[in-house]
Amino acid sequence: MIIKQISVFLENISGRLAEVTRILADNKINLRALTIADTADFGILRIIAVKPDEAVRILTQAGFMAKETDVLAVEVEDKPGALAAVLDIFSKNSINIEYMYASLERSADKAVIVIKVEDVERGIKVVEANGLKPISAF
């Protein structure tokens, strides 16, 4: 239940992010979650969207550097302590989280957390062993 995240190199020019979202909008690709990692000169835009391979193809054609990255996503209750419980599982199993971000909620009482670990397969197994359900799409 690996999720394909789209990673896009974001040149530090005003309007560059808007360009990416505009291209995806024009191609009717719906975004579920996004975050930007910042370095001094450029950013890396990380997006969860429907049809990730199509999104990568469209962005590449438009001259962007884009590629798919494997991540996992877990649905948790939208209540205090839910995220802490998930992170505990990773820390107990010595899995280092490279980055994570929360997504837009699909329903009022749930939140989805996107997590990048080095070995995504193992991350999924550990999550499952602890009674949580990695989701395959959202």
Interface with another protein (CB under 8 A): 5, 7, 9, 11, 13, 37, 39, 41-42, 44, 46, 63-65, 67, 69, 98, 116
Q: How far is the CB of 11 from another protein (least distance, A)?
A: 5
Choose between 61 and 91: whose C-beta lies nearer to another protein. Answer: 61
Choose between 36 and 85: whose C-beta lies nearer to another protein. Answer: 36
Choose between 70 and 78: whose C-beta lies nearer to another protein. Answer: 70
What distance in Å separates the CA atoms of residue 52 and residue 50, rounded to the nearest whole number?
Answer: 6
Q: How far is the CB of 115 from another protein (least distance, A)?
A: 13
Are 104 and 122 spatial neighbours (Cβ–Cβ below 8 Å)?
no
Q: How far is the CB of 7 from another protein (least distance, A)?
A: 4
* 102 Cα distance to chain centroid: 8
Q: What is the DSSP string of the chain?
A: --EEEEEEEEESSTTHHHHHHHHHHHTTPPEEEEEEEE-SSEEEEEEEESSHHHHHHHHHHTT--EEEEEEEEEEEESSTTHHHHHHHHHHHTTPPEEEEEEPPPSSTTEEEEEEEES-HHHHHHHHHHTT--B-S--
Q: How far is the CB of 64 from another protein (least distance, A)?
A: 7
Q: How far is the CB of 2 from another protein (least distance, A)?
A: 14
Choose between 76 and 90: whose C-beta lies nearer to another protein. Answer: 90
Choose between 20 and 111: whose C-beta lies nearer to another protein. Answer: 20
